[in-house]
Amino acid sequence: MFRFEETSFIVVSMYRNPVLIAHKTALNKSVSKDKRADAERMLKEYNGEHSRAESGFPTSSDATPPQAVASQCFGANGSSLSTSSG
């Protein structure tokens, strides 16, 4: 019997994250319109409660640039490394 890695795959039988389930349901055209509408409503409510501003991730409205950090390299014995090329 031969086994080729290219033919290996994983089957997902059920998602455990309710937000992911709602997202997949909302995008699935074979699901009834009522279920898709319920999923879209749930996602809108979830997105309203968990806005990007509260996530801790930077947004485009964060106009403060990061502070510059001064750095200096030292050798193993604590001496400054030379930057001359020669």
The domain segmentation of the chain, as residue ranges, is: 11-54
Confidence (pLDDT) at 12: 74
Confidence (pLDDT) at 36: 96
Helices within 1-86 (DSSP H only): 18-27, 33-49
Provide the b/e sequence for 29-64 (b: ≥16 CB within 10 Å).
eeeeeeebeebeebeeeeeeeeeeeeeeeeeeeeee
**Mean pLDDT along residues 2-7:** 71
**Mean pLDDT along residues 46-57:** 70
As a whole number, the mean pLDDT across the chain is 74
**Mean pLDDT along residues 58-80:** 58
Residue 25, pLDDT above cutoff 70: yes
**Mean pLDDT along residues 34-63:** 77
CB 26 within 8 A of CB 36: yes
Confidence (pLDDT) at 48: 86
